[in-house]
Amino acid sequence: MIFKGAATAMVTPFKDGQVNYEKYGEMIEWQIARGIDALVTCGTTGEGSTLSDEEHKKVMTYCVQKVAKRVPVIAGTGSNDTAYCVQLSQYAEKIGVDALMLVTPYYNKTTQRGLINHFQHVADQVNLPIIVYNVPSRTGMRIEADTVVALSKHKNIVAMKDATGDISYAAEVFSKLRGIDFDIYSGNDDMVLPLLSLGAAGVISVVSNVMPNETHEMVTSFLEGNIEKSRELQLSMNKFINTLFIETNPIPVKTCMNLMGLEAGDLRMPLYEMSPANLDVLKAAMQEIGLVIQ
């Protein structure tokens, strides 16, 4: 198992168009001090698709060195170009990441047979545990349950991040994986408890960028048998979680962090600042849950 609990899909802080490594380091320390179980670098929330090849490699390297094995570091190295995905994944292995997260190929997409071939081909080229990332709202395609079972047979493909938002799909996947050593992580912060109830090992989270301790406790409470505490945390956080997605992620969460003084910095185009009306909604949600606006 790569990790059990909550992993933060970290934002990448920018300043004047460049990666702000000083603030990135402060965020890493802030996360670890608040009990996060793992960190994901260069994923969707980290705007990995807008990082140049040089930036992508430098951000991964910085994260690995800063974390220094205190928690697992998972690197987003997926691409719609299989050859580039292999290149980036091999680099991540060389610098010492603990695992890879590979999104399904987007835009050009493929078939389910093509997905199996893509993921297995990348997995053959590295010796790291791999989380396949299932997010059809971003990629235009879903990893079907039978495809997940096929992928689970590869020794390096050990988990899936399920961001489908479909509990029926999740139940089908868990049913077909019974008896197979393969982990599922929730990719939706508003569905952590439902997926844990089916057997998930944790969450790869956006909200934990600003509430790492609470997100960690939501998962660990459930895994330790304190279902009531876990349920209360899920329900108390859900309105705020939904507010973090009123515009495209990571627009609201970076805005929230900036309001808190965490200095997440700019968004990279084509992402753009929140509308004034939605900004008011975000501020109200922050105040309701007790996050201090500086």
Element of type H or E holding 6? strand 5-9
Helices (H), 52-166: 53-67, 82-95, 112-124, 136-139, 145-151
Given the residues 91, 161, 185, 254, the one annotated as active site:
161
Which member of 24, 133, 169, 185 is catalytic?
133
d(CA 39, CA 180): 25
Q: Is 133 a catalytic residue?
A: yes
Rounded Cα distance between 12 and 17, Å, is 11
How far is C-alpha 213 from the chain's CA centre? Answer: 16
Q: What 8-state DSSP symbol labels residue 11?
A: -
Chain centre distance of CA 164: 13
Would you name the residues annotated as active-site residues?
A: 133, 161
